[in-house]
Amino acid sequence: MNNGTLETLQADRSTASTRAARPAVNAGELAGLKRELLQAEMRLAKARATIAGAEVDVKVLTAQLKAFTK
């Protein structure tokens, strides 16, 4: 008796039924979602650049403060 095969077959059926149950997505909705995702990725990239700049500022100012206090 091989329970692994039975579990695999049941998992395959479950995945296939999930795919069939998905509603059809129209092209306009898909394009809108892609555009929103691209905009979110751009905002994230800008935020990361801002963080990197702030980290550099902190390091420079910390070094200047240490040099000044010596």
d(CA 70, CA 57): 20
What pLDDT does residue 24 have? 74
For residue 36, the model assigns a pLDDT of 98
Tokens of 30: 């898909």
pTM value is 0.56
| Residue 49: per-residue pLDDT | 97
Residue 25 has what DSSP assignment? Answer: -
pLDDT digits (tens, 9 = 90+) for 12-59: 666 665 556 666 779 999 999 999 999 999 999 999 999 999 999 999
Residue 6 has pLDDT above 60, yes or no: no
